[in-house]
A and B are shown apart, each in its own frame.
Chain A
Amino acid sequence: MGQFLDIRKRILEITSVASAIIIWEIIARIINKKYILPSFLEVVTAFLELASGDELYRDILTSLNFFVIGMGAAIAVGIPLGIMMGWFKTFDKAVDPIIEVIRPIPPLAWIPFAILWFGLTQYAAGFVIFVGAVFPILVNTYTGFRNTPRVLVESGKVLGCIKNRDLIFRIALPAALPSIATGVRVGMGVGWMCVVAAEMFGVRTEMFGLSTYGIGWKIWHWNSLHHMDLVMTYMLGLGLIALVIDRLFRYIVQEWWLKWQTGVVV
């Protein structure tokens, strides 16, 4: 019965994707203007041409490089800051007004300062991605710590876990992990969306000499030349890579990070 439901679920998924592709193809053929909406087949052809060389792989590696820099910094800053704010009330009161002023500023607005502070380097792109990703991580870490069940903390204390350091790392952090995982996942989504904006101003990685690569950069490049089939190819590439990153993260979280949760709810 389970297997049957699985097959049925897959058929539904495939049907949904196939329908979207068919509708896209029909609309593109009716419009019949590649620069307004390239058809699915034109995009596939453009993708195959790109995939036959090494340019696409360089673009993907470059964007992932920026993403790793930005996400690494966001996790390194967001989680410790969220822990401090969630556990120490005085620290929270001191830092919260600053965070609340900076948090609503869109990552795009930071681009001029990213260039001025880091130059046209991979760190400038990483900074823009960092700004997009850090706040969801921080807020979810904070929320996870604030919502640590009092009974767990009290039980810890009764069992001899008295120091703040022990309470944070042995009681609150494990309890907050699901919330932190959600924060990192949301942060990764927002951070990946910032890749296009981060690459818009022509930053380059040192991996590939003086040439400029990156999925976001290529979207702007081909847009300038009105090759909308290639623009669409890179856009779908962004979406597919985000999907792979998300699935990979969910797998790691479910199989490693939060394996202890299995059976808690279902």
Chain B
Amino acid sequence: MIIQPLKIIAAILITGIIIVSGCTSTPVQQEDEPTGLTELRFGYQPSTHQIAYMAADAKGWWLEDLAPYGITSTGDFQFPTGAPEMQAMLAGEIDVAYVGSTPPLSAIDQGLEAKIVAGAQTQGSDLVLANDLPYESPQDLVGLKIATFPSGTLQDTVLRKWLQDNDIDPQEDVTILGMGGAPAITALASGNVDAVFLPHPNPTVIESEGYARVIVQSGDMWPDHACCVVLVTQELIDEHPDVVEQIIRTHIKATQYIIDNPDEAAQIFSDDIGVSYNISSQSIQDWDGEWVSDPNIELATALEYAKVQYDLGYTDKLLTQDDLFDLSFYNKVIAEMDEE
């Protein structure tokens, strides 16, 4: 009488296999053939750290520069933090990500096939404390609630490392709450957290409201620490290396443009994100960040982040330079530009 259940299990298994084979047959056939790429999808965040992307977009440079390579349209997705941005890349929804240098670590550790091909910016986040709380040294933070971006993001990693460096256990001595920029600001304004550690322009936005002040800049926590980078999928690297090279060229051009024209950079950011020009301009004056395009500048600290995340148990393996970076494109582009 146990034949009937066996029949049921066999029927379910056969149905399952048929469904699965139906779902997976198409990608298998296309695996080895490079596709004709006509659209590029970018991911970025509403931060002054990533104005280079916004500037190239506002000037129409992405489309203009990539048209000779067959790109007829570009699209972008804005993410509150790096974690959902990496989730989108894992799901194959974006090809290029302007993102902090730490979210790719856990994603690559878990199987994302992508590489950092250019730098975007260093430092540029501030620890902001409510006005009614005193601050003389990091020890004053013991027992407080600090909101920052979610686990594995650059802000989370830098904050935890800095606390540890100052003999404060980030697990036991303080409460670190992961959330997006807007909820963190609301939580600070309503008194539900005591401090926030966020990228610009958030610290300037908070200071302009008058209920909290910047106590430490991230460059003081970790001098010259890497921040945002340009990450591209391995598929793009393997199948369209010429497109990757051009992305880097355009990124270098946009980065130099915003360095030379900070007022226009503030206006581009204001138009893209919707914050006032005064706030974005003030943020660019206040921050300790620096826009860069050379990934070599970010290499050393990115590898330190990999060590920190490995020690925190965020990644299963200690990631190496080969796992994270492909410097060949940037070095080739720079060599060609020098020749020109």
Contacts and interface: CB of A to CB of B under 8 A. Distances in A.
Interface of A: 8, 11-12, 15-16, 18-19, 22-23, 26-27, 30-31, 33-36, 112, 115-116, 119-120, 201-202, 204, 209-212, 220-221, 223-228
Contact of B175 (A22, A201, A210): A210
A31 to B, nearest CB: 7
A19 B9 contact: yes
Interface residues of B, number: 49
Given A26-B16, A221-B150, 13 more contacts: A8-B1, A12-B5, A12-B8, A15-B8, A19-B8, A35-B90, A201-B183, A220-B150, A220-B178, A224-B83, A225-B83, A226-B87, A226-B90
A49 B177 CA distance: 25
A34 B174 contact: no
A74 to B, nearest CB: 24
Contacts of A33: 111
Nearest to A4: B1
B13 A23 contact: yes
Contacts of B111: 33-35
B20 interface: yes
A227 B312 CA distance: 14
Contacts of B5: 11-12, 15
A202 B178 contact: yes
B2 A115 contact: no
9 contacts: A19-B9, A116-B192, A119-B191, A120-B145, A201-B177, A202-B175, A202-B177, A210-B175, A225-B106
B35 interface: no
Contacts of B229: none
Contacts of B186: 112
A212 B9 contact: no
A259 to B, nearest CB: 34
Instruction: Kindly list the 9 A-B residue pairs having the minimum CB-CB distance in the complex, ordered from nearest.
Output: A202-B177, A23-B16, A224-B83, A15-B5, A224-B150, A226-B110, A225-B106, A19-B12, A225-B152
A210 B174 contact: yes
**Chain B binding surface SS class:** mixed
B106 A210 contact: no
B193 interface: yes
Given A116-B190, A226-B87, A35 B112 contact: yes
Q: Tell which of A120, A209, A228 has the most Cβ of chain B within 10 Å.
A: A120
Contacts of A201: 177, 179, 183
Nearest to B87: A226
A120 B143 CA distance: 14
B175 A204 contact: yes
Interface of B: 1-2, 5-6, 8-9, 12-13, 16-17, 20-21, 24, 83, 86-87, 90-91, 106-107, 109-112, 143, 145, 147, 150-153, 171-179, 183, 186-187, 190-193, 314-315
> By CB atoms of chain B within 10 A, which of A112, A119, A210 has the most?
A210
Contacts of A11: 2, 5
Nearest to A222: B151
Pick the most buried of B5, B86, B107: most chain A CB atoms within 10 A of its CB. B5
B90 A22 contact: no
Contact of A224 (B21, B145, B178): B178
Contacts of B192: 115-116, 119-120
Nearest to B153: A224
Contact of B9 (A18, A31, A209, A221): A18
Given A201-B179, A226-B107, A210 B143 contact: yes
A33 B183 CA distance: 32
Contact of B110 (A16, A120, A227): A227
Nearest to B149: A224
A15 B9 contact: yes
Given A30-B24, A220-B150, A212 B8 contact: no
Contacts of A204: 175
